[in-house]
Structure 1
Amino acid sequence: MTLRQQFSFLTSLLVVILLVGNLLLTIGNGRDYFQQQLNARAYDAATSLALSMSQVPAGDDIQLQRLMDVLFDRGFFSDIEFIPVNGPALERRSREALANAPAPQWFMNLVSFDLMVAEADVTRGWSRLGLVKIVSHPDFAYRDLWSMVRSELMWFAWVLIIALILLHILLGWLFRPINRVEKQALAICEKDWQVQEDIPRARELQRMVLAMNKMVEKLRSIFNEQSAMTEQLRSESFSDSLTGILNRRGFDERLAHILCREEEHSGVLVLMQLGNLTEFNNNHGRQATDDALSLLGQELQRVLADYPLAFSGRRSGSDFGFYIPCTDRVHASDLLQLVHSQLMTGVLSPRQGLTFHLGGVFLQNLQDDPAHALSCADAALRQAQRHPESEARLYDGDQGGVEWTAGEWRKVLQEALATDALTLQYQPVVSNAGEQLLQFEVFSRLEWQGQVLSAARFWPMVEQHQLSARYDASIVAQVMKTLVQTPPLADVRYCINISPASVLDEEFHKQLQAVFSHSPELASHIALEVPESALAGIESALSRLALSLRNYGVVLGIDQVGTGTMAFAYMQRLPLDYIRIDGSFSRGLAAAQDRKFFIQSMVQIAHNLDLTVLGEGVEENDDVSVLRQTGVDGMSGYYFSRPLVAIADAHQWQPQ
């Protein structure tokens, strides 16, 4: 029972007790009053009748009977009796005084009158002729007393109803600050730091609200301090302070994570060099040079924002690099020329006085040597630098892989959707201790004409041809269909990475709701996640998607945490369930204490917001041991298992 209900119950009980007590007193006092009146009337009638009978001649019994009848017919008396000294008694016994019952029978049984027999002697002179006995009739008293009680009951009922209504209003007003405090506490659990502006006047409630506001401000301050400290650590360790993009270390570690992990990759690595930066600095000064480099960093971020999972970095004073996922050499060449033209018409236009050259290499393999990849890109850069004006060259190495035009890619992707050519693989995510299975990461593969294409190879074209929403919806539907055929494991979620473009598609939201509504009991095993680097443009749409799917039990996660540029405050704003720290922070973790401290800071921030923290991409035993020490809740990688092709095999897999 709530406190409000207890207050209502106790107050109502008190009002009822008061009203019932007052009613009982009214009935008791009314009964005593009417009883006194009835007995008094009987004594008066007996005296009057005795006096009248004393005037009747001796032996005239008829006259005596008439006197008794006259008194009895008034209906006020139930029993009149004359007992002469000599002779038989004359009497009239009771009858109903009223045509209808004066009161309910239960009331008359409850309230009884103690009526006394009034007696008077009939005398003539000094001679005693007899004795008159009279008893009053209680019907009129019952009628009047019941009428009075009924009026009291009606009045009490109205008083009770009005009192309860006023009590409800009063308690609602009094408990309003408490309700707001409850909402405030629940909002804290949802990572929303609400401060109450309406301070109640009641001293006790005022102190409670002010204390709650102070706690919220303290929690907000702690979170902001932790977030700022972690962001500063990330910036100092992995970002270039002038341009805002990755520094040499951050860029090389991200590149190494992509090229060295035992998963297929497909993308173009580009090195860029400013040819006359020293001359520009001598002519315009250090501040102008710094401003130009800062603008270049912003321009690279803007250009690469259209390509999910792309990243850029400053490798030295005038050397920059960036990596863009793509499908084949044709796509890589097109991207290289597109970026070149965007830079030429933007911050590096000829009128700015800076020349630049681009050299790129297309990388598509299970594993590539980062040093060799950089060497090939550098060779292409040297070829481009043979031209005095800005130029972009792609390394002319072995082509390999699938080589289709953009039109052919579009046809392949559309036919793949029509024929359900997508297949799924499942990679286990285990708990920190390695004893419990937490999730399966779902990876998509495209089977086409005997080839199996990984998402790294075909997804850039999916993005380019604006098919992301259709592909994501198809993957989700296929996962749900698979779970219908093979029931999911208890307390295990199947994580599907969706494209930022899909999040912005309202029709995709409706398609997901339709898919989940067909099997709501299975929807609670689904988790959707998006990369952190894409949050800046999709945050509001992502919140709407998460809230629309919450009734189905679908949860939301953020992938590749640590690679974006947004402040970590998004963890507090978005309705998240978990975060997954990018694998580039896990690779070589045992030899990098600053990355360990960064992950520990992320874990502390997330745990303060009740978020689960997962690590990925771990392949070495030493890295697993150190990652466990950071306090993450779970981890995945080839150290534990490669992606499993069949869901039946995934369900039979057990942590080692």
Structure 2
Amino acid sequence: MTLRQQFSLLTSLLVIILLVGNLLVMVMNGRDYFQQQLNARAYDAATSLALSMSQVAADDEVQLTRLMDVLFDRGFFAVIELQRIDNDPIYRRSRDSAGEAAAPRWFMQWVGLEMIAAEADVTRQWQRLGTVRVISHTDFAYRDLWAMVRAELIWFSWVLVVTLVLLQILLSWLFRPLARVERQALAICERQWQVQTDIPRPRELRRMVLAMNKMVQKLQSIFTEQSAMTEQLRAESFNDNVSGLLNRRGFDQRLQHILERGEEHSGVLMLMQLQNLSALNQSQGRQVVDDVLNMLGTELQRCLQEFPAAFSGRRSGSDFALYIPCADKVQANELLQQMFSQLATSVLSRRQELVFHLGGVFLQALQDDPVQALSCADAALRQAQRAPEGRAQLYQADNAATVQEWTAGQWHELLLGVLEVNALQLQFLPVISNRNRRLLQFEVFSRIVWQGETLSAARFWPMVEQHQLAARYDASIVAQVLAQLKQQTLMSGVTYCINISPASVLDEPFHQRLTELFRDAPQLAAHIALEVPESSLNGIETALARLALQLKPFGVSLGVDQVGTGSMAFAYLQRLPLDYIRIDGSFNRGLHQAQDHRFFIQSMVQIAHNLDLLVLGEGIEEADDVAVLRQTGVDGMSGYFFSKPLPSLAEAHQWQLPADDA
């Protein structure tokens, strides 16, 4: 029972008790009054009749009867009788109650007027002739008393109704601050820090609202401090404070994770060197150089915005590095020349009196040696510095294996053909719960099977985004996962995580397509999770929030992947309706040897758990890293240490964690 109902019930009981008590007192007082008046009237009538009969001869029965009739016909008396002293015949007149009851029978029985017979002696001179006995009629008393009770009941009913209505209005006004406090508390659970500005006047409610506001501000301050500390740790450990890009350690760490994680990668690694930065420092001062480096870092970040998985860093004073996913060597060379042109016509134009060169190497394999990759890129940089005709050079190996290359038109035709024949192949990577070592999620990966060749997402996805087919591919993957789930027995508590492209998030028809898919399979929607990379949130946060609101009725989960690789402040964790975050594998690789990585993950776990978010770790390959990651408090983990991606959903549902790994 709600507090409002309790107040209403208690008030109603108090009003009813007061009204019933007042009614009882009124009825009892009325009964006593009527009873006293009726008895007094009977006594007066008996005395008056006895006096009149004393003037009539004792044997004149006609006259005596007339005197009795005159008094009786008034209707106020039930019994009038004369009994002579010599026991001669008694003259008595009586009348029963009227045919129509003066009041309900139960009321008359409850009230029970007690009428006393009034007696008076009839005398002549000193001789007693007889006795007159008179009893008052009660019909009038019952009728009047019942009319009074009925009027009081009507009045009391109106009072009760009006009281309850006024009480509800009063309670609505009083409980309005409580309702706002409830919404405020629920908003905290939804990671929204609402402060009430409408402070109630009643002292108790005012103190409660002010205390709640103070708590909200304190929680927001704690979250802000935690986020700022974690962001500062990330910046100090992995970012260059002048250019705003990754430092040497941060860039090498991410590059190593991509090249050595055992999944196929496809991209171009670029090295850039500014030739006369030292001369500029000597001639114009350090501050001018710092401004140039800062503008260069800003321009590089702007150039890489259209490549969600790309990243850049400053390796030394005048050396910069970039990694951009691409499909093949042709696209790698196009990206290299495009990057050179953009820099040469903007921040590094000839007006800046800076000469720069760009060298790159195309990397495509299951595993590559980061040191060898950097050596090849450096060799290309040296080739660009020696070449008189240009300053951007792609590394050309003498013994490079022949790899089939496609033009942009051929890629477009290939990708459209895959969509038409539904040639996407899905793989499923288990995510293990840290609490009970059971399945928590499956990460869904996509492959293309085309003309007998299998292409990983690392190879074909850059071309998907270049030809603006990301929304169609993402919708196709979601539809294929739902179709396979319909043919399998659902696993309780297990979700299937699908990474969607930022371009899809910005595409309104993609939103509508997802709504249609989940509306057709509402029982499966709660088993689907959609996630986006953290590095892309800066441009899609509003669209992502709109998509989450649209999919919320279906129970679809929302997550952020590659946490720690973006430059966006962690405040997005409270702005977006997220369900989980996934720490990037570059922080988990070699975790047992990196204390700052461990502290960063522990900070993220604390922040996320305060917001009721699950924290997952990916890219686990070593037992030592697993042990340390479990100590940080993450909720789940995945990686080749537990399992490689499983080729079908049927095998995924049959997969079990080996006893040695549990």
Q: What TM-score bracket applies, with the shorter chain setting the length? A: over 0.9
In 1: Cα distance, 2:61 partner to 2:508 partner = 110
In 2: Cα distance, 1:356 partner to 1:282 partner = 18
1:558 aligns to 2:560 (yes or no): yes
8 Å Cα contact 1:259/1:367 also seen in 2: yes
Equivalent positions of 1:43-442 (< 5 A) are 43-85=43-85, 86-97=87-98, 100-387=100-387, 391-397=391-397, 398=400, 400-432=402-434, 435-442=437-444
Which letter maps to 1:287?
Answer: Q
Equivalent positions of 1:579-590 (< 5 A) are 579-590=581-592
Q: Following TM superposition, by how much is the alpha carbon of 1:472 offset from its aligned partner in structure 2, in angstroms?
A: 1.5
Q: Give CA-to-partner distance per residue, 1:373-416, whole Å, 9 cap, x none.
A: 22222222222222457632222343655522222222222232
Residue equivalent to 2:604: 602
Q: Tell me whether 231-240 or 597-606 shows the greater mean CA deviation.
A: 597-606
Q: Give CA-to-partner distance per residue, 1:427-467, whole Å, 9 cap, x none.
A: 11112256221111111222222222222122112212222
Q: Following TM superposition, by how much is the alpha carbon of 1:486 offset from its aligned partner in structure 2, in angstroms?
A: 0.8
Q: Give CA-to-partner distance per residue, 1:13-66, whole Å, 9 cap, x none.
A: 222211221111111111111121222222222223333333343333344333
In 2: Cα distance, 1:120 partner to 1:428 partner = 112
Residue equivalent to 1:543: 545
Which letter maps to 1:81?
Answer: E
Which letter maps to 2:381?
Answer: L
Query: Unaligned 5+ residue runs, structure 1?
Result: none
**Cα distance change on mapping 1:432 and 1:157 into 2, 3 Å:** same
**From 534, 537, 545, the counterpart of 2:536:** 534
In 1: Cα distance, 2:83 partner to 2:454 partner = 126
Residue equivalent to 1:471: 473
**Cα distance change on mapping 1:261 and 1:37 into 2, 3 Å:** same
Structure 1 runs, 4 residues or longer, greater than 6 Å off? none
SS at match of 1:347: coil
SS at match of 2:437: coil
8 Å Cα contact 1:503/1:541 also seen in 2: yes
Identity in percent: 70
Residue equivalent to 1:485: 487
8 Å Cα contact 1:268/1:360 also seen in 2: yes
8 Å Cα contact 1:433/1:628 also seen in 2: no
**Cα distance change on mapping 1:221 and 1:80 into 2, 3 Å:** same
SS at match of 1:305: helix
In 2: Cα distance, 1:391 partner to 1:107 partner = 113
In 2: Cα distance, 1:206 partner to 1:383 partner = 74
In 1: Cα distance, 2:390 partner to 2:239 partner = 27
**Cα distance change on mapping 1:438 and 1:39 into 2, 3 Å:** same
SS at match of 1:385: helix
Q: Following TM superposition, by how much is the alpha carbon of 1:100 offset from its aligned partner in structure 2, in angstroms?
A: 4.1
Which letter maps to 1:240?
Answer: D
**Cα distance change on mapping 1:434 and 1:311 into 2, 3 Å:** farther
Q: Tell me whether 239-248 or 372-381 shows the greater mean CA deviation.
A: 372-381
Which letter maps to 2:217?
Answer: E
8 Å Cα contact 1:434/1:655 also seen in 2: no
SS at match of 2:332: helix
**Cα distance change on mapping 1:132 and 1:465 into 2, 3 Å:** farther
**Cα distance change on mapping 1:459 and 1:92 into 2, 3 Å:** farther
**Cα distance change on mapping 1:164 and 1:382 into 2, 3 Å:** same
**Cα distance change on mapping 1:495 and 1:145 into 2, 3 Å:** same
8 Å Cα contact 1:361/1:395 also seen in 2: yes
In 1: Cα distance, 2:417 partner to 2:350 partner = 44
In 2: Cα distance, 1:401 partner to 1:70 partner = 136
In 1: Cα distance, 2:470 partner to 2:504 partner = 6
In 1: Cα distance, 2:208 partner to 2:390 partner = 67
Q: Following TM superposition, by how much is the alpha carbon of 1:347 offset from its aligned partner in structure 2, in angstroms?
A: 1.1
In 1: Cα distance, 2:242 partner to 2:107 partner = 95
Q: Give CA-to-partner distance per residue, 1:509-538, whole Å, 9 cap, x none.
A: 222222222232221122111111111111
8 Å Cα contact 1:355/1:389 also seen in 2: no
Which letter maps to 1:193?
Answer: W
Which letter maps to 2:88?
Answer: G
Which letter maps to 2:466?
Answer: Q
SS at match of 2:615: strand
SS at match of 2:288: helix
Which letter maps to 1:60?
Answer: D
Q: Tell me whether 356-365 or 47-56 shows the greater mean CA deviation.
A: 47-56
**Under a length normalisation based on structure 2, what TM-score does the superposition of the two structures give?**
0.94
1:616 aligns to 2:618 (yes or no): yes
SS at match of 1:645: coil
SS at match of 1:172: helix
**Cα distance change on mapping 1:66 and 1:645 into 2, 3 Å:** farther
SS at match of 2:386: coil
SS at match of 1:542: helix
In 2: Cα distance, 1:330 partner to 1:114 partner = 118
Q: Give CA-to-partner distance per residue, 1:2-21, whole Å, 9 cap, x none.
A: 33332332222222211221
8 Å Cα contact 1:364/1:401 also seen in 2: no
Which letter maps to 2:551?
Answer: L
**Cα distance change on mapping 1:62 and 1:485 into 2, 3 Å:** farther
| Count of matched residue positions in the alignment of Structure 1 and Structure 2 | 655
SS at match of 2:496: strand
**Cα distance change on mapping 1:202 and 1:434 into 2, 3 Å:** closer
Residue equivalent to 2:457: 455
Query: Unaligned 5+ residue runs, structure 2?
Result: none
Q: Tell me whether 251-260 or 83-92 shows the greater mean CA deviation.
A: 83-92
In 1: Cα distance, 2:83 partner to 2:464 partner = 121
Residue equivalent to 2:29: 29
Which letter maps to 1:214?
Answer: K
SS at match of 2:306: coil
Q: Tell me whether 566-575 or 216-225 shows the greater mean CA deviation.
A: 216-225
Which letter maps to 2:103?
Answer: A
In 2: Cα distance, 1:106 partner to 1:469 partner = 82
Q: Following TM superposition, by how much is the alpha carbon of 1:618 offset from its aligned partner in structure 2, in angstroms?
A: 0.5
In 1: Cα distance, 2:457 partner to 2:110 partner = 88
In 2: Cα distance, 1:400 partner to 1:108 partner = 115
